[in-house]
Chains A and B, each alone.
Chain A
Amino acid sequence: MDQGAPLSACQAEIAAAVQAESGRVLATLISQLGDWDLAEDCLQDACVAALEHWPQAGLPRNPAAWLVTTARRKALDRLRRRQTLERKLPLLHMHSATEDTPMDADTFPDERLKLLFTCCHPALELETQIALTLHTVAGLSTADVAHAFMLRPATMAQRLTRAKRKIRAAAIPYRVPPLELLPTRLPALLMVIYLIFSTGYAAPSGEQLLRVDLCEEAIRLARILTRLFAAQLQPNAEALGLLALLLLHHSRRAARTGVHGELITLEEQDRSRWSRALIDEGLTTLDAALALHDPGPYQIQAAISALHVQAASAAATDWPQIALLYDALWRWQPTPIVALNRAVAIAMAHGYAHGLALLDDPELAAALHDYQHYHAARAELLQRLERYAEAAAAYTQALARCQNTSEHLYLSRRLAEVSRS
């Protein structure tokens, strides 16, 4: 075991260290024990031991290695108690040649890619993939994951248990998929991380517009993913593109809501409140992605976001370039949402009437009839075209579909504006 620093560590510091390392530790334990439930139980035991031991001894030099070593010892205890020792012990011995020698950071393998790919297996429902990723890789408690989905903890616990049972019973492999499967498997993984971020970025209902914790978890996962790809496979352009996109979106978080928690649109945001550090990191990451010459939808979206954050003012935004990028994105993702954003970009680049005509396409109107942002975008363009009565009707449509308090405040204000005009 590592020699701890002589200073005592405070509870908050320990809790943070445990959460930061839990994904990596769990990934290793599953790999070594070959049993998901046993690995989770022993991680729990090890965390409890850490909370008892670390306040006196101080944080070990390598908390992850300490947790793995301790958890493995706990696994042995548990197996003994279960009296299935004869059956499982050989397995454990096989992997525990280093049982009593400390593992150091350099030789301790990072198996989180395996864990990520298992959690995001296409045989699991998308929501389950997201929940499992948040719980195991990001180390969020069942209660926190339940909160993100607005479910009761008991319901979420049930869903997680069912997922783990399927992984075991149906033998979903615990591995990084072979190269030939990678192109079909990576998009699901990127989407899960993206959905975690967007759940935090525009919480669909409730008081808060932003759930910063979920955004930061998604960024942490994207960072882990890009690093592991670079270290264990090869740098991946779309994984980097996703990280860049998340960083650039997140750079604007402080400016996105006003003092009363109301939404502030990109155009009205105080650009001095954008995070320079996140913008710089986002742009550097995007450059690294583009240098790999393997284009994809996340890189295109990051490039669009980059044009927004690089504009000195809303008026200085390079809309013609953004409209071109949306054309490119449309070729990758011909979805109604992309059509909506493309129409707005074209409106800004080439005239509001032009954009409105695209929005009023009957097929698009039907597809997005229940989507709040479609009506809000129409209302905005109608307002700019000084067609106030129609704008008011469209804002009313948007409000009827809005469940988020801060967006509600914003739309109500705009409706009041056009009603006065």
Chain B
Amino acid sequence: MRYMMLIYGNEAAGAEATEADWQETMQAYNAFQAEAGERILSGDALHPTSTATTVRLRDGNVLTTDGPFAETKEQLGGFYILNCENLDEAIAMAAKIPGAKHGCVEVRPIMEF
């Protein structure tokens, strides 16, 4: 089973992080990736929502808005796609993602066709 792990956190708090904080975060993610090993199919971090553009197609016209789809207290900051046995394993892995400590991780099963 493939699960998408959507990592949400407070960007404002992230912006105030020091160089040492970043080092620590990177180490934590490296440790997670080492533990998750071959379960990781892909994963990336995203630039902050201030760089986002939201696109809609209405009556054949492309409409763009500067900013994320929805203003929320916590923002999508990165993701993993993991291969797990079942939801129990997915939950156990999600809890180990460093972002779960301060923000939250949404676990979504991926549709298989």
A residues neighboring B (CB under 8 Å): 121, 123, 169-173, 177, 181
Contacts and interface: CB of A to CB of B under 8 A. Distances in A.
Given A123-B91, A171-B86, 7 more contacts: A123-B87, A169-B111, A170-B90, A170-B109, A171-B90, A172-B86, A181-B88
Contacts of B55: none
B88 A177 contact: yes
A44 B88 CA distance: 30
A337 to B, nearest CB: 29
A84 to B, nearest CB: 15
15 contacts: A121-B87, A123-B91, A170-B90, A170-B109, A171-B1, A171-B90, A171-B109, A172-B86, A172-B87, A172-B88, A173-B85, A173-B86, A173-B87, A177-B88, A181-B88
Interface residues of B, number: 10
B87 A170 contact: yes
Nearest to A169: B109
Contacts of A169: 109, 111
Interface string B75-113: 000000000011110110000000000000001010100
A173 B109 CA distance: 13
Contacts of B85: 173
Nearest to A178: B88
Nearest to A121: B87
Helix, strand, loop or mixed for chain B's interface?
mixed
B49 to A, nearest CB: 27
Contacts of B91: 123
Nearest to A123: B87
A101 B77 CA distance: 58
Contacts of A173: 85-88
Contacts of B87: 121, 123, 170-173
Contacts of B86: 171-173
A173 B1 CA distance: 11
A170 B91 CA distance: 11
A87 to B, nearest CB: 14
Ordered nearest first, which 9 A-B pairs have the shortest CB separation? A173-B86, A170-B109, A171-B86, A171-B1, A172-B87, A170-B87, A169-B109, A171-B87, A173-B88
A171 B90 CA distance: 10
B69 to A, nearest CB: 23
Contacts of A121: 87
Nearest to B91: A123
B2 to A, nearest CB: 10
Nearest to B84: A171
A124 to B, nearest CB: 10
A70 to B, nearest CB: 30
A172 B107 CA distance: 12
A169 B86 CA distance: 10
B1 to A, nearest CB: 5
A170 B110 CA distance: 8
Of B86, B88, B90, B109, most buried by chain A (CB within 10 Å of CB) is: B88
Nearest to A167: B87
Interface string B1-42: 100000000000000000000000000000000000000000
B86 to A, nearest CB: 4
Nearest to A122: B91
Contacts of B111: 169
Nearest to B89: A173
Nearest to A177: B88
Contacts of A181: 88
A347 B86 CA distance: 51
B90 to A, nearest CB: 8
A123 B108 CA distance: 12
A181 B91 CA distance: 12
Contacts of B109: 169-171
Contacts of A170: 87, 90, 107, 109
Of A121, A172, A177, most buried by chain B (CB within 10 Å of CB) is: A172
A173 B91 CA distance: 12
Nearest to A173: B86
Nearest to B108: A170
B42 to A, nearest CB: 19
B85 to A, nearest CB: 8
Contacts of B107: 170
A173 B87 CA distance: 7
Of A121, A169, A177, A181, most buried by chain B (CB within 10 Å of CB) is: A169
B72 to A, nearest CB: 21
Nearest to A181: B88
Contacts of A123: 87, 91
A266 to B, nearest CB: 42
Contacts of A177: 88
A171 B86 CA distance: 5
